[in-house]
Structure formats: structure tokens, C-alpha cells
Amino acid sequence: MILLHTTRVRRRRLGVAAAAAGLLATMLAAGPAVATPDPGDAPAREKLSAEQAAETRSAIRNGEIPAVDQVVHSDNIEHLANIPKDALPGTNSDLAFQGRYAFAGNYDGFRIFDISNPEQPRTVSQVLCPGSQNDISVSGDLLFLSTDSSRSDNSCSSTTQPATEKSSWEGMKIFDISDKRNPKYVAAVETACGSHTHTLVPERRNVYVYVSSYSPNAAFPDCRPPHDGISVIKVPRESPEESVIVNFPVLFPGEGPDGGGNPGSPTNPGVSKTTGCHDITVLPSQDLAAGACMGDGILLDIENPEQPRVIDRVQDNVNFAFWHSATFNQKANKVVFTDELGGGGAATCNAEIGPNRGADGIYDIVGKGKKSKLVFRSYYKIPRHQANTENCVAHNGSLIPVKGRDIMVQAWYQGGVSVWDFTDSAHPKEIAYFERGPLSDTTISTGGSWSAYYYNGYIYSNDMAKGFDVLKISDRRTDAGERVRMHELNVQTQPDYFDRHGRFDD
């Protein structure tokens, strides 16, 4: 481990009509045999044809899309601050929060910000510890970091090494953050197929970690099919060095070589085969979890955190290519699933792809307990078309805690940040947005907001290329959320913002 010390404009709601032809053909074909991962260390760059580049420049001149790097937003959003990437040049990834601190993952490590003054965040520390994608969470004095790239060992000075070598390492890293200026690497647990993402289920003495990973291969000694479940790690708070895997629950039992999950292409053209989960969101107050598992969406009972059990399972083989993440509403009677069509590196927010692909799927939870069922209601996608040089698709977001309404903020890569209301499950609508113009008007360059979360009255976004952004929304529909104060927030461990009497949980 190495410790390292705008202009506001109005925007027309028009858009570019078509995506890059080659890329579009790839996405609409039979589909990949394995999942397309999130963007890696080397952002994709694909030069457009002269005709496509001219179309993008024309759309910029006509005001249909903002100019390269131009900041635009709705009238009810303010852009308060931006902190560019510093000593960690890799792709920025997820966010977590604790007290006056924000913790920002990066493919090269992580960064800790002091956000006691949200208009002037300042860097407290930066830790160099490469290992994509460095998904990040915090609980008490512990910080958790996912490694989903094959490394020479579990140290922070490791180098890349083929997954075909038995000695290669992937999994969970654990840090002591009792001193925010000097985090200490204290433990590591190797997990099958690494850790693409992880989710915490905290208890008083222990923290359970649900590790999601996917895409096994018979040639990988530590990641062979079938890989049809998640790893469960038990972490003692007082002795994290004793962390151990306590279970690998099979979520998709079946007779085939890949278990019983969605078979994907060619059976279901354009859909990812389920060989694990991408992300799990837990709602501990209700003993519930929702899993986004490549070709499947699932609802789980986590009353026994070591033995999660599937209650219901759904598929969408028409419009969902890759089930990416999940968000419960406050009443726990809805789940929003996201579809990461194109793996986060493609231009899918355009008229050619349409409003139902690369979107959110809103499901009502009907029934109680073990008889609960997920029932589809509608799709949501940002209403502003993006340039054919902008990677854009549904990605990470969180609830805005407003009693009696279902409102969330969400990242859309270069589509920016969207605040939207799904109180009416069948008729969701956007109420605010923030974004930048394309990184390039000639080349598909990967960038944009990876995660956009609401924490203690502000929206924080980790832009893969541009750094850490702070936004403020001022709107009667969301203003009540400012009264909710959290001491800690890991979005995939959803809190119960209101106590059983319906008051704010301060």
C-alpha cells in the first residue's frame, strides 16, 4: 500500500438520431457469450466515421447537445464543486460515506475526502492499491475494497498476472480507517472469480460481505464453472485478519454446466448468460435483498445473513441485456433494476436504441414474505438523447429520503446525473439533471458519472474522467430529504430512513 498525499446554460431536449453503426450492430447482434464488464483501466476509444463525427458536430452547433466538456443542468440543480483526479489516474468508481467523509474508489486505489463543507471538499488521503474495480464500502473502522483483476498477489504493490496461473489472486481487501489520514491494510480474502462488487450486511460484532463475481472459465483454476452463487465472508470487527468465507450459496441451481440461470445467447439473443451476480442490494431492516445477476433479477430472504435464499426470480429477454444493480424504495414494495446494455462503454442513449433498452426496470413487490413476487410495471430512461461519442446507460444511484414519495438520483455515465420520481410505478418522470458535453466529438471515449448518491442534503458524483462532483438540488419535491442525517451510507446496504413511527431517523 502506498499513501499519497462552469458555466450554467439552458438545454434543448433534442438529440442525435443514430449511434455509431459498427457499435450498434455489435450490441444488437446475438450478444456476448459472457458478460461485458464495466469499463477497465484503459477507457475505450473508437474513432467514428467522418459522417458520424460531422453529425455530432452539427448537433453541437444546433444546440441539440452541449459542446465538448460544457456543463449543463436543470434550473433546480447547482454545481457546487469539482475535484479533479490527482495522484490516482485510473478510472473513478463507487462511493461510500461516513460522518464528514466521502470515500471514492478508483481502479488504482481509493481517495478520502473531507466533505464537512460540501462546497469545498478537500483530499484527506489517497491510497495507491491497484485492482479493478475497487468497489468500496465502509463500516465503523473498516473499509472494504473489491479486486476483480487477476493479480500477482494480494498486496497493494501487486502486478497483473494471468488468471490461468494458480498463484494469481483476486478478492476482498480490508483496511483500518480509524486514522483517515493513514489507512492501514489489515486483511485480504481470496474469492472465486474475484470480487466485481460487494455488499455489507453489518452486525454488532461482525460484518458479513456478499461478494458478487461472474464469467468463469474452465482454464481459470480459481474461477471454474459452474459459478452460480455468491461468496459470503464473515469479518470480525475486532479481528478482521480472521475474516473467512462461511458460505457460497447457490442461487441458480440447475443441471447444466453453468447452473440454472438465464442461458443467454443464442437461446435468448442479446441477453447475458447468468454465471454469477453483478451486484446485490440489501435492506437489513426488512431482511430482504435484491440481486442483479446478469440475465436474472432476484429477490432474496436474508434473515440468516450466512444463508440468503431466493424468494422470486424474473427475466426480461426482450429489453434487458445485463442486469446490473438494484434499488428498493423506502416502503420495500418496489425494486428498480438497471440494465447496463453495452457494458458501460457504448452510446445507447439515443433514438436508435430507444427508451426501453439500457434503462431502468421498475418492479412492484406483490405479496408478503416467502410469497412475495416481482411484478414489472415500466421502464425509465433519461429523456435527453446523447451524442454518438458518449457512453451512456443506466448505472449506480440511490434514494433521496422523502417521506411518501419514491425519488432517486442516478448516474448515467456521460448521460450525467438524473433525479427522477417513480412514486407512480407505471409513469416515472425526471425532475432534475446535470451533465457535461461529450469528452470528444470525434471519438467514443469512456467517461461520465459512475455513481451519483444523495447524502445529508447533497448529491455526490464520481465521474470516471473528470473527478469528484458536488451538486445541490433545490426542489419542493426533494427538500424534505435535507432533514435526514446519516452517520454512514453504503448505498448497496440500504438504510431504513424512517423509524417505525414514520419519523425521520436522525
CA end-to-end span of the chain: 36
Q: Is the peptide bond before 226 cis (omega within 30 degrees of 0)?
A: yes
Q: Is residue 31 pLDDT above 80, yes or no? A: no
Question: Does the residue 499 lie in any domain?
Answer: no
- Banded pLDDT at 46 (limits 50, 70, 90): low
pLDDT of residue 44: 54
Question: Does the residue 297 lie in any domain?
Answer: yes
Average pLDDT, the chain: 90
pLDDT of residue 50: 77
- Cβ(130)–Cβ(171) under 8 Å? no
Question: Does the residue 423 lie in any domain?
Answer: yes
pLDDT in tens, 248-293: 999 999 977 888 999 999 999 999 999 999 999 999 999 999 999 9
- Cβ(419)–Cβ(433) under 8 Å? yes
pLDDT of residue 503: 41
Q: Is 241 exposed, middle or buried (0-12, 13-18, 19+ CB in 10 A)?
A: exposed
6-35 as b/e, with b when 16 or more CB fall inside 10 Å?
eeeeebeeebbeebbeebbeebbeebbeeb
pLDDT of residue 55: 81
- Cβ(438)–Cβ(387) under 8 Å? yes
| Phi, then psi, of 452 in degrees rounded to 5 | -135, 115
Residue 257, CA distances (Å) to 216, 227, 263 in order: 11, 9, 10
Question: Which residue from 341, 320, 473 is spatially nearest to 398, judged by alpha carbons?
Answer: 473
Q: Is residue 386 pLDDT above 70, yes or no? A: yes
Q: Is residue 342 pLDDT above 60, yes or no? A: yes
Cα angle value 205/211/215 (rounded, 5°): 170
pLDDT of residue 2: 65
Q: Is residue 16 pLDDT above 80, yes or no? A: no
pLDDT of residue 423: 98
Question: Does the residue 276 lie in any domain?
Answer: yes
Q: Across 319-442, where does the E strand assignment appear?
A: 323-328, 334-339, 360-366, 373-380, 397-399, 407-411, 417-421, 429-436
- Cβ(418)–Cβ(433) under 8 Å? yes
Q: Please tell me which residue, 7 or 459, carries the higher pLDDT value.
A: 459
Q: Is residue 25 pLDDT above 60, yes or no? A: no
Neighbours of 500 (CB within 10 A): 8
Question: Does the residue 496 lie in any domain?
Answer: no
> How far apart, in whole angstroms, are the C-alpha atoms of residue 6 and residue 466?
13
Q: Is residue 23 pLDDT above 50, yes or no? A: no
DSSP-assigned beta bridge partners for residue 175: 143, 185
> How far apart, in whole angstroms, are the C-alpha atoms of residue 4 and residue 88?
9
Question: Does the residue 228 lie in any domain?
Answer: yes
- Banded pLDDT at 343 (limits 50, 70, 90): very high
372: which residues sit within 8 A by CB, 6+ positions away?
299, 311, 312, 365, 366
pTM over 0.85: yes
57: which residues sit within 8 A by CB, 6+ positions away?
441
- Cβ(482)–Cβ(457) under 8 Å? yes
245-262 as b/e, with b when 16 or more CB fall inside 10 Å?
bebebebbeeeeebbbbb
Question: Does the residue 498 lie in any domain?
Answer: no
pLDDT of residue 307: 97
Cα angle value 209/497/332 (rounded, 5°): 75
pLDDT of residue 499: 63
> How far apart, in whole angstroms, are the C-alpha atoms of residue 215 and residue 386?
30
Q: Is the peptide bond before 492 cis (omega within 30 degrees of 0)?
A: no
The CATH number of whichever domain residue 208 belongs to comes to: 2.130.10.10
Give the H or E element holding residue 21: helix 21-28
Q: Is residue 34 pLDDT above 80, yes or no? A: no
pLDDT of residue 322: 98
Question: Does the residue 198 lie in any domain?
Answer: yes
- Banded pLDDT at 56 (limits 50, 70, 90): confident
417: which residues sit within 8 A by CB, 6+ positions away?
77, 409, 410, 411, 433, 434, 435, 449, 452, 459, 461, 469, 471
Domain count, the chain: 1
- Cβ(49)–Cβ(21) under 8 Å? yes
> How far apart, in whole angstroms, are the C-alpha atoms of residue 192 and residue 198?
13
DSSP state of 226: -
pLDDT of residue 38: 54
Owning domain of residue 47 = 9-489
DSSP letters along 131-153, please? -TEEEEEEETTEEEEEEEEEESS
pLDDT in tens, 454-499: 999 999 999 999 999 999 999 999 999 999 999 999 999 999 998 6
- Cβ(299)–Cβ(277) under 8 Å? no
- Cβ(131)–Cβ(160) under 8 Å? no
Question: Residue 141 corresponds to which cell in the numbers above?
Answer: 473502522
Question: Which residue from 193, 226, 190, 237 is spatially nearest to 212, judged by alpha carbons?
Answer: 193
pLDDT of residue 15: 29
Q: Is residue 504 pLDDT above 60, yes or no? A: no
408-434 as b/e, with b when 16 or more CB fall inside 10 Å?
bbbbbbbbbbbbbbbeebeebebbbbb
